[in-house]
Structure 1
């Protein structure tokens, strides 16, 4: 992850509680990266100079299901080749008869939520739930029971007094949740890329397997966790 995103995540985490109810961290990420995460799309317009197919306008992180619909979440991913995807991708520009002009669409920032392992596909660390009536911006679901998360929490708990164990667990979950939100939001930039496209992004890059790989590595998150816990401990000692 680029250094500027690491620093923005650290700043967002340092200045807010990071709970789902508290939107400060989402606001800070949006303020820092919304312009860089804006996507150029073709919007139907009589004065437009582009020629596109009718189905090639898109909205980012918007409700795709009507209120009241209760569609079960699939625990399997359906993959498509990128070549097949190009003909279906709403953001990919192909020659057509509709007049359009290029415009910019600001990205929304998804939520994250920690869930029990039985709510997700067996063995995965996370899953992406696209925008719907209940989660208009979409939500990253993270598996509390995933072994690596438990190892990270225990590692940091062993470095601090026992009475801080619960707070440390919260901090670790907060940081991984916000980091995964940033990855989902940034991945939207490939939705209109000719080599990827909407379906490849949703079905491959955001698949449970890909998101599981994305949580591994430790380096980025450990850096932020160390700074966050160090600041918390300093505050406690000085109070």
Structure 2
């Protein structure tokens, strides 16, 4: 009998930590992480859509007031974006959107064309009719928006939806995070290109999007890769032609 009592007490003691720890799942730690996620996603979306100018300094207090949160989640979110190379930390501890430089432009454009082109090539073998119809719907809506001269933010949202519908179809857990990081770094370039775009090349804003859709319909990986590369380089080529860049030394 004493042995049974001891065993029962031992079982109670082993179970106790679980009973004590379970309420912790709903304590404020989770709420703080939720605020951080909200702040991070808001800043991330703004960077991808080119809301910020190149070289713009982001002050923690200003961002916190704008988002109506405390400074801690803003500081953490900005730190994460610095580690992802979407933002850069300056010696005076301020944080800014990276400057537009020719070296950075060339590197980001090259990386995007390589990685996103490969994702589109993979998607060409996996995409189904429903996904193709969704790409056409997004592109048609984009065309209607351009006919009304929509805002840069709206255009950026359609462009993002179109491309990532393709990249998610590729189903690569390795390529997708790389693409997301490259889009974060591309934001200032895309904003600058949108500001100087005047349609002089004679192509519609969705010209290459329709080419991408056609390549995916034919399940042609090479054509999909080329069309995505052409779409990406259209904006970067515009910047190469129109913007003066300071002289740089390549590392």
> What TM-score range do you get, normalising by the shorter chain?
under 0.3
Which structure has the bigger radius of gyration?
2
Instruction: Identify, as 1 or 2, the structure richer in strand.
Output: 1
Q: TM-score, normalised by structure 2?
A: 0.25
- After TM superposition, the score normalised by the length of structure 1 is 0.25
More helix by share: 2
